[in-house]
Chain A
Amino acid sequence: MSKFTLNVNGQSHSVDVAPETPLLWVLRDHLDLVGTKFGCGVGQCGACTVHLNGSPGRACLTPVSVAAEMKVLTIEGLSSDGSHPLQKAWCELDVAQCGYCQAGQIMTAAALLRGNAHPSDKDIDDSMAGNLCRCATYTRIRAGIHRAAELAGAGKETA
């Protein structure tokens, strides 16, 4: 076991775990941040997507020893009150079915929108292809990202 200090959602946390422990399980078992989900453990489903220094990454493949050097943002830290445009759009369009993958979808989409404020369908398909939705809510995820882009744009205009 080794001690690590993690910066998650702007807060500092200390954990004592094996260095190879994936960030996913540190978040879930040790920090009680369960929004980041376990789906495959091999980086294929995207349910564990978090932001590492601002870029989307797979928490299931990121050892805590690596994550400790980075700023980690999870779904719980995306906004303080569910007011991120993606979160609002997801509720407005009723995107989720079972909902299990959606935190990962939103985190990947948030990174997309940060670099591309008005993505095309093709941009969305390309960026989101790594995130599996077993309920296949892809039609609504696409629509949700477009709607979030609108909401974000409107927010900027009035700001």
Chain B
Amino acid sequence: MSTSSPATLDRRSFLRLSALAGGGLVLGFYLKSSARAGGQEVTKVTGLTDGNFAPNAFIRIGQDGTVTIFSARPEIGQGIKTSLPMIVAEELGVDWKSVKVVSAPFDKEYGPQAAGGSTSTPTSYMNLRRAGATARAMLIAAAAQTWGVPVNECYAEDGEVRDRTTGKTLAYRDLVAKAAALPVPDASTVALKDPKDFKLLGSRIGGVDNPKIVTGQSLFGIDQKVPGMVYAVYTRCPVFGGKVVSANLDKVKTLPGVKDAFIINKTFGDVSTGLVPGVAIIADSTWSAFSARQQLEVKWDEGAHAGDSWAGWAKQAKEMAQGAGTGLKSLRKDGDPDAALASAAKVVEASYTYPFVSHLNLEPQNCTVTIEGDRVRVLAPTQNPGAINSSLSRFLNVPPDNVEITITRIGGGFGRRLQADPAIEAAAIAQQVGVPVKLMWTREDDMQHDHYRSGGFHFLKGGVDAEGKLSVWTHRQVGFDAHYISGATDYPARFIPAYSLETAALSNNVPMGPWRAPRSNVHAFVVCSFLDELAHAAGKDPVAFNLAVLGDRKMVSDPPRPDGGRGGEGGAYNAERMRGVVQAVAEKSGWGKTLPRGQGMGLGYYFSHQGYIAEVAEVTVSKDGKLKVDRVTAAVDVGSQIVNLSGAENQIQGSIIDGLGAAMYQDLNIEKGRVVQANLTDYPMIRMPDAPGKIDIHFLKTAYPPTGLGEPALPPLAPAVSNAIFAAIGVRIREFPFSKTDLSWA
């Protein structure tokens, strides 16, 4: 098995390249990703003569037997470049070692190509199986025709078709010419493998780019070079929404290596998705540009938000939520929460807070753009090539088909690279300088001009009845951004007879956006920690208490949605699956064992991104307040089939440690309308010594369609740890980062 660098081919050159091999028929079609609608479409788009067998855009088999599988989704570390081709290869019936994986260019042929929301697996799984099975059916038909036997006498395995009766075999390479001449069957009619016959899916397969990663070969956006390019840096106003008044451009232009410097005061889109005003410096190398920037002096018009601060927002939130609730909007009210609180045997009241955080993609934002007339070529480490395509088409006023995008390997996504801003900046600069531009953000740019995970303030009251059962829950949330405001069906709504949710968004100008498991990443902490507080108030074991809250219903939905929803967004909640993982994690973690003071176990569980995951953390808190997570046990239900066991476990391990790091350390403060932190020196991230000593992962195989793992293992971790800390030393943490809470004990 081998891989190729990101394909820089557009569809036409792809077909041209295919044609070079000579003589045969290529039928291209794309399978629209429509798993949510429960069906799929197959559209023939073209026919060409060449020597390969390419029944769809994902597969090409050459007459030399080379099997190429195109991977269409951006690889951000979630392992999709390996796992999606595995699905195709499984149904195609080829030895993985014979497969060459190539990153597909951005092209309509491939249907949606964004990587976000842990949706790549659920929306691709059936389509890619059908893509592989279609090719297999055609190769079997070609063999049956050759032998003059019925197709049902033949089967395919390991890159060859075999005749059950005669034992004859024909290798795929010898069937390429004949198969290419056959009509492509309707993909919805081809027979899929019985999952019990899977050989590849569910096994451990190493990432296809691993050999290049460990030898330092060019893969990422930052590694790209194009002939004649210049290097650019772009300085934005530290206050969000500010504009340039003037800059010492004359001086900057005289500095070594600097080719040009200019102000861009036009804007495009809004502060969070487009171009903001700034100063561009163009130079002959990255360092020349960075170095010249040290000398840049800009006078800014800081605009209307230069007085914004986290401290101000926190005060405002408290006033809104703890007073009469003026400005709050009721999102849900079940039963009579006031009466239920009045009659509860015990009432607990608490407020929870978490700050803004940065994505801190280790590869800082960058983009390389070439503009030639009305044609644009983009080399981008992007999770969302479609957004770049449509934004640049509008920004540069060129047809979308003229914007060619090569998706490079990506040094971390986490949601940040769903935004198109680096590409628009690079294009705005390239437009002005007239040669290809590689725009490089510094770490400081990246931290101070991110699309942050929103901060938030939660004010809760809950009550338990005389039997210790949860009877009432009221929740007021004051936040900043729609991505992070609680939804009317977020757990535990629908599980408590008296329930109310009121929310408000504070006026602000901070760019915000999805951050790994948006909303769930913070709400799980609030909800599962407060449930733990109530369990202790009720004098109940937390596992038993939470299982009682989950009740005995199977599906909880209002209104029901056919796709199962994403948990926090109005979807159905499968309480049976959640009980399954909670019970499993309790059993596997040895829940209930007696531990000395200073050690404790805590439970977190959350449904997000279609995954049901429960985690138990086992922690030790030293007397001087040092936290060590000794072990995390995870029970994971993402459906009937793990695609790549190695990749799946890697995602869960990483999500757990990332979730721990965000909870323990990450804290981005805003004062005077600007971000206070600038680099890792004042924005600590989790390091190896803080990683849990052991992470045990248990998959529950259930009869539901396979779903993604880029996100859902992160949310349960923070409450599992904070609840374990409470069990260990009796200190309740109600704030991210945990480092703000004194954990010392005597």
A residues neighboring B (CB under 8 Å): 1, 17-18, 20-22, 25-26, 28-30, 32-42, 44-45, 47, 74-76, 78-79, 82, 86-87, 90-92, 94, 96-103, 106, 121, 124-126, 128-142
Contacts and interface: CB of A to CB of B under 8 A. Distances in A.
B409 A99 contact: yes
Contact of A139 (B291, B442, B657): B657
Contacts of A121: 693
B653 A136 contact: yes
Interface of B: 75-79, 204-207, 209-211, 213-220, 222-223, 225, 231, 256-257, 285-288, 290-291, 360-364, 409-414, 440, 442-443, 646-647, 650-651, 653-658, 661, 679-681, 685-689, 691-693, 695
B285 A98 contact: no
A99 B219 contact: yes
B183 to A, nearest CB: 40
Interface of B is mostly: loop
B210 A98 contact: no
A137 B216 contact: no
Given A25-B287, A39-B443, A134-B361, A94 B646 contact: yes
A116 to B, nearest CB: 16
Given A98-B77, A98-B410, A100-B220, A40 B680 contact: yes
A22 B287 contact: yes
B78 A45 contact: no
Contacts of A132: 362, 680, 685, 687
B246 to A, nearest CB: 27
A91 B286 contact: no
Given A30-B285, A34-B218, A135-B654, A45 B210 contact: no
The 3 closest A-B pairs by CB, nearest first: A35-B216, A98-B77, A100-B411
Given A91-B214, A139-B695, 11 more contacts: A25-B286, A40-B679, A76-B216, A79-B215, A86-B214, A90-B214, A98-B411, A133-B688, A134-B658, A138-B687, A141-B688
A18 B688 contact: no
Given A28-B286, A39-B443, A136-B691, A94 B686 contact: no
A100 B362 contact: yes
B287 to A, nearest CB: 4
B679 A99 contact: no
B230 to A, nearest CB: 11
Contact of B657 (A29, A33, A96, A136): A136
A128 B443 contact: no
Contacts of B654: 97, 135-137
Contact of B222 (A37, A124, A133): A37
A16 B204 CA distance: 47
B215 A45 contact: no
A126 B688 CA distance: 8
A98 B412 contact: yes
Given A40-B679, A138-B691, A142-B688, A92 B412 contact: no
A33 B216 contact: yes
Contacts of A18: 256-257, 287-288, 291
Contacts of B78: 97
A85 to B, nearest CB: 11
A94 B207 contact: yes
5 contacts: A34-B222, A75-B216, A91-B206, A96-B209, A98-B75
A134 B689 contact: no
Contacts of A44: 679-681
Contact of B214 (A26, A32, A37, A87): A87
Nearest to A29: B285
Contact of A42 (B204, B210, B680): B680
